[in-house]
Structure 1
Amino acid sequence: MVILETKNLAKKYGGVEVLNNVNLKVYKGEILGMIGPNGAGKTTLMNLICKLTDITAGEIFYKGQLINDRKPYEIAKMGISRTFQVVKPFKGLTVLENVMVGAFYGKKQAKNKTEARQIAMEALQIVGLINEKDKEPSILPIAQRKKLELARALAMDPELLILDEVMAGLNPKELDDIMKEILLLKERGITIIAIEHVMKVIMGISDRVVVLHLGQLICEGKPNEVCNHPQVIEAYLGNKFAQRGIA
């Protein structure tokens, strides 16, 4: 079953074309890895899906329903949540209170603070931050701040979760921990789009991989197939790698 689909999606900022004719399908229950060079349009594509920026042309369907004219809060209520590349916790709130914010705006939409607290505590338990719930987010190391971002998205009770470079800046042990947590989220029935530059992660968690380059999808398939495709190697790593390939 296709849970999300874009048809001929395009985005321009003035005369600059950021996305052009993007046709993407995301299947329910999968982890879709998305790779591509910086500036390829990956985050812009996610912003269009979440309606954080306006569509220039094309259509976006979620569970078969056209969502082009939906507001961001409506998209969240429908079951789509995301993390952001740059982690920005709400200042003046504890870790727990930060996650409670997500509980008020997601699909469940907590009716009061007690309900929001319960939802937030469950999300913190999932990501392993329950012991940090009363701390100020600014004192947390980067790995835990990334987990806080993830917990806030989970508190929105998503059916589709978009992860925008949640692995950036983490050491190998931290990478392994978050990879395991993401795979457990899949087991819970959450569909995931993971934008990532860390190839260990893409190869380790993805069911399929798509490649975005200069605003266009240039390849999709199984992780090994995509990562050894000459066009992908050339676009992502340079001509010398395309000539000899990657094992």
Structure 2
Amino acid sequence: MFRPILCAALIATGATVAAPASAQIVTEPLRWEVDGAAFEGMVARNTNLDAPRGVVVIVHDWNGIDAYERGRAEMLAAQGFTAVAVDLFGTDAVLEGIEDYRRETGALYADRGMFRARLSAALEAAGTLPGADAGTVIMGYCFGGAAVLEAARMGADLAGFVSFHGGLTTPEGQDWHDATGAPMLVLHGSADPVSGMADLGALMDELQAATIPHRAEIYGGALHSFTVWGSDDYDLSADRRAWRALTGFLDEIL
């Protein structure tokens, strides 16, 4: 069942969302299966649009889909996109604390075949949504940022890729030869202790060698989770600038 939400500005980032006064954002579940396991995401869209501007897929942080990803999806829907927060852990995953988050992310990092199968299935489900014919961009936060790079390396046929403070290292045995060549945007803090500037520089070198269009924005002094509202790392200025970078990228690509 649709959950109606009045299309107001979601101002946590300081961005102003322009939308008609009568616009209404609705959300609904999106379900799919991978090898018999059930997965569920959340779709947000503006029902008053004749046609969405495209689809934006959001991959969650290491703790799964929560109010953060749902909020970001609604922000994008208010700007005319069909936004979908996709699940890579499955509906049966227990996500009650740090050890659970480590278990779920660790399993995917250890089994890249499973990681890619789940990404592929989520993207296939997203491809059925209104606006998909206008193009699809994938974005993600932290673990989700690493998932964005995994999707690019596996050759996902998408219009663009955006990583927010993601893990940037390329796993042993992988490279960028299968990437489709769609543009990549990397948004990262200079003080990120998880993937530092050496990792970012190595990624830029790899993308350049693979002739993949790419650019990065570096936010001086920003820590790992600089966009995550309420976290100890949150940086309002960097969050605002990163959101503007994302929306500018989407304006170019979609």
With the length of structure 1 as denominator, give the TM-score of the two structures.
0.32
Higher RCO (Cα < 8 Å, 6 or more apart): 1
In our comparison, the structure showing a higher alpha carbon Rg is 1
With the length of structure 2 as denominator, give the TM-score of the two structures.
0.31
Task: Point out the structure with the larger helix share.
Answer: 1
